[in-house]
Amino acid sequence: MNDRISKIENDVQDRNSDAWKKLCEYVDKVADENIEEFSPLDELGQELFSQIHTLPESISKLKKVKKVWLYGSKIKRIPPEIGQMKSLEYFDPYTSYNLHWFPYEISKCINLKDSRVSTRALFGNYKNRMRFPLLTHNPVRYFGETLKCSICEKEITYQQTNQLWITLRVGTDNLPLLANLCSKECEDKLPKPEIGYVNFAHKGGADLKQPSDKEWHEIIQQKYEQQKLKIQNKSTQNEEPKLLKLIRKIWN
């Protein structure tokens, strides 16, 4: 297990820089022209793109975007507004090694089926089990004075929110997600975490026990056997009608 615990870094972006202003203009352009791919590197160039550490909240306007390209970025976080990109099908922040976690809202991208993420850099990844930062005294702060509950989308203050980590399957990767919750009722609505990771939503910290490498492989083997049995049962069920048809044909 990786014993290093990162401190949550807030205010990651200089919002007065030329790079940020050009990125915001690019978001508006993509939204206005109904462009289906979002690739800030191609628009800004490497020098400006390397100064970008988050995305504008205005990405909520990118209703038609199907593919997001953030390869090799210096991005450290993604805003919750990504959950409003309902057409998103492919998400690629590969080799963005400063990106250790994602907002829970990315799981609301209902069409997101494929992703390419540098999973070794993620909190809780099974290859190194990088420790989750403790949220109790080290909360995440987005831009603005309020935020929305990740479940019911009720607007709340930072004093009202309960922040928890949870690992879920998003696209083709298991991602550590940060959920902002307004109540116990909303906490109870969180889905079951992905098999092989901490099996409950949590605050992180040095005392959090994550599955060992041995436990991981045992869990994956069990999952493989379950899937194998499921396929065999389905195959058997499909064979039964064929057998009945053959018997009926012979009888006739």
* Confidence (pTM): 0.87
Average pLDDT over residues 207-217: 89
| Residue 246, pLDDT score | 55
Q: Provide, rounded to the nearest whole percent, the portion of the chain with pLDDT above 70.
A: 91
Chain mean pLDDT for the chain: 91
Rounded distance, CA 101 to CA 11, Å?
Answer: 16
| Residue 247, pLDDT score | 54
Assess whether pLDDT exceeds 80 at residue 144. Answer: yes
pLDDT in tens, 77-105: 999 999 999 999 999 999 999 999 999 99
- Who wins on pLDDT, 170 or 229? 170
- Which residues, 6 or more positions from 133, have their beta carbon under 8 angstroms from its beta carbon? 5, 6, 7, 8, 123, 204, 205
Rounded CA Rg of the chain = 22
CATH class entry, domain 18-211: alpha beta
Assess whether pLDDT exceeds 60 at residue 240. Answer: no
CB 115 within 8 A of CB 90: yes
Rounded distance, CA 134 to CA 230, Å?
Answer: 39
| Residue 178, pLDDT score | 98
pLDDT in tens, 181-211: 999 999 999 999 999 999 999 999 999 999 9
Give the pLDDT band (50/70/90) at residue 227.
Answer: confident
With b meaning 16 or more CB within 10 Å and e meaning fewer, what string describes 194-227?
bbbbbeebbbbbeebebbeeeebeebeeeeeeee
| Residue 69, pLDDT score | 98
Rounded distance, CA 48 to CA 14, Å?
Answer: 12
| Residue 184, pLDDT score | 97
Q: How far is CA 132 from the centre of its chain?
A: 15
| Residue 42, pLDDT score | 97
Nearest to 140 by CA among 203, 75, 53, 231: 203
| 24: its two tokens | 């915001």
